Amino acid sequence: MIPEAEARPKQRKSAPKVRTGCATCRSRRVKCDEGKPACQRCIKLGVKCDGYGPVFKFKPVQSAMLVRSTSLSKSPFANPQERQYFDLFCARTGYDIFPTFDSGRTRERLLESCHFNPAIRHAIVALGALDKTAELVQSFDKMSLTPVERDAAANEHHKNALKQYVKAVKHMAADASAKKPDLRTMLLTCLLILAFESWTGNMDLALNQVHAGIRLIQEWREEYKNDQDKFTRLSPAPYVVEDDLIQIFCRLAVQHSFFADGHAPELHAVLGNEGPRFTRSMPETFSDVFEAGTYYNGIIRRGVYLITTHSAYLGPDVRKDSEIWLWAMKEQEEIQADVWRFNKAFEPVLQKVTDGPEKHYALFIQLSLAIGYIGLCTHLATDESIHDQYNPVYKRVVYLAKEVMKELPVTNKTRPSNFCFDTRVIVPLWVVGLKCREPTIRRDAINMLLSNPRREGIWDSVFAGKVLQWAMAVEEEFMEHGCVPGWARLGGVKWSGAELGAKRAELVCLQRVSADTTTMRRRTKRIAW
């Protein structure tokens, strides 16, 4: 018999078919159901549907044309497997781990850099291989450098990820010694190293990249210190480094302010760049959730700057009529007013938000602002009992965190997205577990962190849950009638960052000895996760 394929007469190639559908599906060269306002394919993938008009958005397949339009002999990749990892990054990994709440220009710049920068290309291939590992092993433990029995295929992908990462680091070192790369390239390099180290659990090395990137930004901004408009935008020269890229490091600085003891000057400074002038330009009603996100980020940065200033310069010995205290009170009132203005402008957007990325972002904004507002209202208080009056808000924070988790993009049924740069739920749940002493709400937050292992930027949910379990146990030793007395409450918990990469840490806190004295005692514990 003649095979059906051979029996079928050869057809002449017809003219290229005009592709229809949303911009996202057309860029990926997949069939679109043309649903309005967002197609179902984009909703299921958890990516932003770019609509049906001519928009300037990141097109990963076109940016990766060096892969698809050239033969392997002319390709920068050594073998088909490298190319497959790169394709995976373009189609999925880049959308999962990089912020989904910006214009996509950071991903676009990364893929454009692959044409001429071997370090970035190898790092992207390494992340694609790491993503494939994550899909198969379903466990953070098996992605770390420990002698664990692994599935053979996953082990091979993990080895390939490490090999590609080593190549990337060697190229980075060579570039640094031969010439000084431009600022955008250095920041993109920091992000790629941070992504790899954080995803594999080396949180101490990831922290170093946050410091390195923000230090570069602050040194660069000094060149524009005489620019009168520098407080109205994140990037004083968007043609050198885009706002989106600066925004990512600002969000990492916010994460860091909750993670580490003490605040490096450059991290503290980058949060205070905008001042009040930015929030004064807030419209009465936002056009969409993404415009709202711009102002949300500004409010959060300003609030965290105030709180970190409190940690650094304010304290029980500071006079209430001192200049720094009066500034803090005024700043607190202004930010509270900004939050109320924001909520009023955001309400119409919430009423018409669509399912998919918009709904996810809207829930995340509500979650983040709720926990941020509590921190803003309580940061000048010296009595931890003030948090009790916010128990209803803490309960809502846990509810919103669960809703955000439900709306997280799932790009593959076998591997839910469990790593990203941005904060999603870990930091808000951390604050609930540390500051809310209502037993049911507190345990709900801690259990959520422990039962949903994920990493967000420099945070590991299991690590956060373990720390909170200990803090809760220390406080509840002195529980009276189901309530932790004010004198027994902890102001915070510190830890050593030297062993975070080995998943070990020594926790330290100070607790009053009794209700009758202000004497403090030091409590410690070593944990592993």
Tell me the three-class secondary structure of 84-144, residue by residue: HHHHHHHHHHHHHHCCCCCCCHHHHHHHHHCCCCHHHHHHHHHHHHHHHHHHHHCCCHHHC
pLDDT of res. 101: 62
Find out whether 85 and 160 touch, Cβ atoms under 8 Å. Answer: yes
Amino acid sitting at position 9: P
pLDDT of res. 149: 46
Copy the structure tokens of residue 396: 């809502």
- SS3 (DSSP) at 524: strand
Q: Which fold has domain 17-54?
A: CD2-Gal4 (4.10.240)
- SS3 (DSSP) at 318: coil
CA angle 100, 129, 146 (to 5 degrees): 110
Distance between CA 44 and CA 387 in Å, rounded?
39
pLDDT of res. 46: 59
pLDDT digit string (tens) for the chain, length 529 residues: 333 333 333 444 433 333 467 766 765 556 677 777 677 777 766 566 767 543 333 333 344 444 443 444 467 888 999 999 999 999 888 888 876 566 678 888 899 999 889 999 999 999 999 988 888 776 555 454 444 444 566 788 889 999 999 999 999 999 888 878 899 999 999 999 999 999 888 888 888 999 899 999 988 988 887 765 554 567 888 888 888 888 888 888 888 888 865 566 777 777 776 666 677 789 999 999 988 988 998 898 888 888 877 655 555 566 777 787 888 888 899 999 999 999 999 999 999 998 888 888 899 999 999 999 999 999 888 899 999 999 999 999 999 999 998 887 654 545 556 888 888 899 999 999 999 999 999 999 999 999 999 999 889 999 999 999 999 999 999 999 999 999 999 999 999 766 777 888 999 999 999 999 989 999 999 999 8
pLDDT of res. 72: 44
Copy the structure tokens of residue 278: 């930015």
CB neighbourhood size of 102 (10 A): 22
pLDDT of res. 308: 77
177 to 142, 148, 171, 305: CA distances (angstroms) = 35, 37, 10, 36
Domain ranges in the chain?
17-54, 400-529
Distance between CA 66 and CA 111 in Å, rounded?
10
pLDDT of res. 63: 42
Full 3-state SS string of 37-83: CCCHHHHHHCCCCCCCCCCCCCCHHHHCHHHHCCCHHHCCCCCHHHH
Residue for token pair 């070192």: 173
Burial 251-261 (b: 16+ CB within 10 A, else e): bbbbbbbbbbe
pLDDT of res. 126: 96
CB neighbourhood size of 194 (10 A): 25
Helix, strand, coil percentages in the chain from 3-state DSSP, rounded to 5: 60, 5, 35
CA atoms within 13 Å, Cβ hemisphere of 416? 10
CB neighbourhood size of 387 (10 A): 22
